[in-house]
């Protein structure tokens, strides 16, 4: 009886250990693949921005020790993904293809999280970082189709096409942009997260038109016409600018949320920042250019308000109403 019990206990223990070992092995394999993909992504992005990758930049980006990074480089070399010479790393075409797959998955996911799941922008990157390793190329194609084949991610980075085409890097860092020349923000670098979070908190968004009014080694002062942003150069270097298109400014345009209750206005359009589901919803409700709108009802807290548009009453929260640009009409007395 005792022997039977011993055998049973040993058997169960052996089974548990085997399962645990198998599980750890799978985990380690998954982690290895994740690191490899992250490394490819890092190498590609540096190359894309015309910078030089090094072992130090790799350990920094992946947050691993030198030994691990060295192993990774060796692994990429044996798999034919990377050519490492004494001074530089260079991705092979196969390595580039894999890197673009991961980047495509990442940016499509960011687009999805920002527009459809409506995660707050600072969380979008981290969520995509987790999801990118689990999205097969076919699933990425389906996602791209369902999002309407977006061209850029929420930070302004181009999304590689299925064939692996990605337009060359564009934009000048704000630190290199001349003073007092109107510029459009085309890209906000989301690494490192801390400076990206600062940019988001300041209210700087892709598509915004800005001007640099003061520049010194300590700080850069930017303005969007209303607010001034004071940024450390290290942070401002993460803003990429391009010449502003010559769209005539809409004279007298205000945001719907600022319309006085009872006042009528004409809809000019939706803010560039309003994307995905929110944009579709507002368009479906008839918030299109030229429609007449009136701020009709106010509530206890002043938010939400109800607006009269196309013969119906629609309630919007302040954040939604801020995304609609309108031209106030003369008050008909």
Partner 1 sequence: MPRAEAAAVLRRAAELRATLDSQFRDETVKSIYAEAERIASRASHHVGTVRYDFDQRVDRIVTSPVFGLPLMALLLAVVFWLTVAGANVPSAMLATGFFWVEDQAATLFTNIGAPWWVTGFIWHGVFRGLAWVVSVMLPPMAIFFPLFTMLEDLGYLPRVAFNLDFLFKRAGAHGKQALTMAMGFGCNAAGIISTRVIDSPRERLVAILTNNFVPCNGRFPTLILLATIFVGPLVPSAFESLAAAGAVVGVVIIGVIFTLAVSWGLSRTVLKGEASAFTLELPPYRRPGILRILYTSLIDRTLFVLWRAALTAAPAGAVIWLLGNITVGDLSLARHIANSLNPLGHAIGLDGVILLAYIIAIPANEIVVPTLLMVYMGTGMMDEGSSLEQIRELLVNTHGWTLLTAVNLMLFSLLHNPCATTIITMYKETLSLKWTVVGTLLPLGLAFLVTFLVASIW
Binding site for partner 1 (CB under 8 A): 117-120, 123, 148-149, 151, 161, 269-270, 277-279, 281-286, 288-291, 296-304, 306, 310, 312-317, 319-320
Q: Which residues contact 159 (CB under 8 A, 6 or more apart)?
A: 104, 107, 108, 111, 144, 150, 151, 152, 153, 166
CB of 104 to partner 1, least distance (A): 14
CA distance 53 to 43: 6
Q: How far is the CB of 144 from partner 1 (least distance, A)?
A: 11
- If the CB atoms of residues 243 and 283 are measured against partner 1, the closer one turns out to be 283
Query: Rounded to the nearest whole angstrom, what is the least distance from the CB of residue 319 to partner 1 in the complex?
Result: 8
Name the residue nearer to partner 1 (CB basis): 42 or 305. 305
Whole-angstrom Cα distance, residue 184 to residue 165?
Answer: 24
Query: Among residues 265 and 282, whose Cβ is nearest to partner 1?
Result: 282
Between 90 and 118, whose beta carbon lies closer to partner 1? 118
Q: Which C-beta is closer to partner 1: that of 214 or that of 303?
A: 303
Under 8 Å between Cβ of 282 and 274 = yes
Cβ closer to partner 1: 97 or 279? 279
CA atoms within 13 A on the CB side of 162: 11
Omega of the bond leading into 192 within 30 degrees of 0 (cis) = yes
280: left (phi over 0), alpha (psi -120 to 50) or beta: alpha
Helices (H), the chain: 2-48, 55-62, 66-78, 93-115, 121-131, 137-146, 193-202, 233-236, 276-284, 318-321
> Least distance to partner 1 from the beta carbon of 224, Å?
20
Element (H, E) at 84: strand 82-84
- Tokens coding 27: 């985990």
* Smallest separation (angstroms) from partner 1 to the CB of 231: 24
Decide the pairing of beta strands 312-316 and 305-309. antiparallel
Nearer to partner 1, 90 or 317 (CB): 317
């Amino acid at each position: 009886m005792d022997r039977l019990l011993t055998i049973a206990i040993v058997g169960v223990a052996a089974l548990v250990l085997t399962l645990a070992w198998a599980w750890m092995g799978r985990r380690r394999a998954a982690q290895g693949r994740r690191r490899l993909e992250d490394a490819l992504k890092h190498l590609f992005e540096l190359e894309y921005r015309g910078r030089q990758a090094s072992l130090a930049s790799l350990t920094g980006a992946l947050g691993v020790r030198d030994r691990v990074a060295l192993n990774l480089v060796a692994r990429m070399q044996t798999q034919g993904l990377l050519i490492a010479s004494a001074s530089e790393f260079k991705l092979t075409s196969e390595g580039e293809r894999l890197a673009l797959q991961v980047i495509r998955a990442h940016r499509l996911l960011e687009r999805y999280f920002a527009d459809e799941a409506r995660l707050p922008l600072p969380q979008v990157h981290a969520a995509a970082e987790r999801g990118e390793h689990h999205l097969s190329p076919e699933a990425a194609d389906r996602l791209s189709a369902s999002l309407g084949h977006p061209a850029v991610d929420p930070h302004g980075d181009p999304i590689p096409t299925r064939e692996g085409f990605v337009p060359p890097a564009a934009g000048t860092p704000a630190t290199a942009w001349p003073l007092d020349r109107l510029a459009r923000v085309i890209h906000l670098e989301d690494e490192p997260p801390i400076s990206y979070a600062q940019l988001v908190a300041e209210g700087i968004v892709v598509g915004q038109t800005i001007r640099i009014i003061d520049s010194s080694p300590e700080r850069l002062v930017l303005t969007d016409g209303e607010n001034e942003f004071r940024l450390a150069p290290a942070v401002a270097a993460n803003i990429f600018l391009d010449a502003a298109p010559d769209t005539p400014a809409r004279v007298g345009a205000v945001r719907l949320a600022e319309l006085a209750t009872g006042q009528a206005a004409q809809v000019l359009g939706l803010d560039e920042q309003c994307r995905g589901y929110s944009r579709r919803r507002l368009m479906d409700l008839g918030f299109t250019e030229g429609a007449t709108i009136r701020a009709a009802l106010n509530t206890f807290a002043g938010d939400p308000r109800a607006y009269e548009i196309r013969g119906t009453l629609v309630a919007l929260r302040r954040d939604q109403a801020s995304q609609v640009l309108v031209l106030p009409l003369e008050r008909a007395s």
